[in-house]
Amino acid sequence: MSTPTLNAPTHWIGGDAVTGTTDTTDVVNPATGEVVARVPAGTAADVDRAVSAATAAFPGWAATDPAERAAVVHRISEGLRSRVEEIATTITSEMGAPITLSRAAQAGIPIAVASSFAAVAADFPWTEQIGNSLVVREPIGVVGAITPWNFPLQQVVSKVAPALLAGNTMVLKPSEIAPLTAGLLAEVTVEAGLPAGVFNVVYGTGPVVGEAISAHPGIDMVSFTGSTRAGRRISAVAAETVKRVALELGGKSANVILDDADLVQAVRLGLRMVFTNGGQVCGAWPRMLVPASRQDEVVEMAVAAAAEYTVGDPTDEATSIGPMATEAQRRRVDGYIERGIADGATLVFGGPGKPDGLHQGAYARPTIFADVAPDAVIAQEEIFGPVLTIIPYADDDQAVEIANSTMYGLTGAVFGSEERAFAIARRLRTGQVDINGAQWNPLAPFGGYKQSGNGREFGHHGIEEFLETKSIQR
């Protein structure tokens, strides 16, 4: 497997490429360990420059007719569509997603998200008459966006599209692990006619650039996707300037399989939601809750299905699971697998260490545990890897209790007869629940309960996140 050499990106501030300091951060291909690019190691001074550019651009962009803002976002969607292969190969190179997944999801979902937002804007209630009051929804100002490495472009577009539609200007800090598509997006925004300074990119680490964004008095809102630990820190820093903070954080979601479910469908879809992107998905379903009387049957199905997944070179069309995004992440996943074994869970597939024949690269073994206690470490903490925990339960009430027993509440699933599954879904303390493998809806709100966060993305709820509300009486 060869590693493509990518152009070294620069900060994008005020409509211009800005080099910044001479310090850089390596972007490493996790499948080979080779450096594929270097990005600037941004500083607080770079954030200052970006905030100044965004502040200067705000009045003009906020005053732009929403229909024109929507047209720009639509052109951004089309610009991304024209560069699907470039986006896909870039993401595969920088964080190891299999190329087929990169095309379909890593590149495809951002296009769908931007397009859906452009359509929603046409019917969005920018004003509302309530008695003698005109309620006006206005842009909040300069938005700081801090995004993760697991879906590097999708997570950016899920913030950029609604924030721009709402009339805000932005300063983006992409993850230093997978930052390269942020530069591609900046190019697309220029081609789409977005005015200079409306969208700015500053590369760098969380402790430097992320902290500067969170603390900056010129930033009116921070929108963050990432770990719960980092979300707590951002909230604490942002509180000093009482700015709004929207958080989409970790998850440990449950897939509740009822005794009248189609087990084949429930197990196969459930496993797919754990192994996709190497399990590096905040909305995955890593806890499979099954009736105790049917656990052996479920385990047999899960092991057979897991054997069909191919781990290997992410540039190979036949690969279904690539490497973890970094060697540090691989070691973290391995540590959890070893902890599961030490704590007495039954290892039925996979295990610690690298897969056979894959000595180079950050590869982890897809792993399945059975007989997992609901309060076990591997059942409570977010592993963020291809590790499924099968947890038996006695009845529906216990299934709900177990599903709600973690500090998280991002997504979940229920498989079973429609009415019964719906009743269980209503009882789950989580922001999104799929029943019997329901289709993803980009217009429905996405976000968490509890320590999975406090904001909502997608559809009109996603636009509302980036608006202030004013009441004018007359």
The CATH number that applies at residue 285 is 3.40.309.10
How do residues 443-457 score in pLDDT, each as one tens digit?
Answer: 999 999 999 999 999
Verify that 262 and 243 share a domain, yes or no. Answer: no
The pTM of this model reads 0.96
Verify that 172 and 312 share a domain, yes or no. Answer: no
How do residues 279-330 score in pLDDT, each as one tens digit?
Answer: 999 999 999 999 999 999 999 999 999 999 999 999 999 999 999 999 999 9
Contact present, 466 and 455 (Cβ < 8 Å): no
To the query of whether residue 248 is one of the catalytic residues in this protein, the response is yes
Read off the amino acid at residue 126. W
Residue 4 in any domain: the answer is no
Bridge partners, residue 367, by sequence: 387
CA dist 198 and 221 (Å) reads: 15
Residue 165 in any domain: the answer is yes
Verify that 226 and 360 share a domain, yes or no. Answer: no
How do residues 229-243 score in pLDDT, each as one tens digit?
Answer: 999 999 999 999 999
Verify that 108 and 88 share a domain, yes or no. Answer: yes
Contact present, 58 and 168 (Cβ < 8 Å): yes
Q: How confident is the model at residue 8 (pLDDT cuts 50, 70, 90)?
A: low
Tokens of 338: 């070893």
Contact present, 195 and 61 (Cβ < 8 Å): yes
Query: Residue 148's domain is classified under what CATH number?
Result: 3.40.605.10
Which pLDDT belongs to residue 391?
A: 98
In this model, does residue 126 exceed pLDDT 80?
yes
Q: How confident is the model at residue 144 (pLDDT cuts 50, 70, 90)?
A: very high
The whole domain housing 111 covers 11-249+453-473
Verify that 301 and 243 share a domain, yes or no. Answer: no
Verify that 245 and 266 share a domain, yes or no. Answer: no
Among the listed residues 78, 86, 94, 248, the single catalytic one is: 248
CA dist 113 and 96 (Å) reads: 22
Verify that 317 and 431 share a domain, yes or no. Answer: yes
Tokens of 136: 């006006």
In the chain, the number of structural domains is 2
Say whether 363 sits in a helix, a strand or coil.
coil
Residue 1 in any domain: the answer is no
How do residues 394-434 score in pLDDT, each as one tens digit?
Answer: 999 999 999 999 999 999 999 999 999 999 999 999 999 99
Verify that 279 and 222 share a domain, yes or no. Answer: no
CA dist 121 and 109 (Å) reads: 19
- CB-based contacts of 85: which residues, under 8 Å, 6+ apart? 103
Verify that 233 and 304 share a domain, yes or no. Answer: no
Residue 6 in any domain: the answer is no
Q: If you average pLDDT over residues 202-219, what whole number do you get?
A: 98
Residue 304 in any domain: the answer is yes
Residue 3 in any domain: the answer is no
In this model, does residue 2 exceed pLDDT 70?
no
Q: Burial level of 131, CB count in 10 A (0-12/13-18/19+)?
A: exposed
Which pLDDT belongs to residue 5?
A: 41
Residue 430 in any domain: the answer is yes
- Residue 249 backbone dihedrals phi, psi, to 5 degrees: -115, -155
Strand order in the sheet with 467-473: 127-130, 133-139, 467-473
Give the residue from 285, 248, 291, 253 showing the smallest Cα distance to 270.
285
Verify that 135 and 261 share a domain, yes or no. Answer: no
Say whether 343 sits in a helix, a strand or coil.
coil
Verify that 231 and 265 share a domain, yes or no. Answer: no
Residue 15 in any domain: the answer is yes
Verify that 427 and 304 share a domain, yes or no. Answer: yes
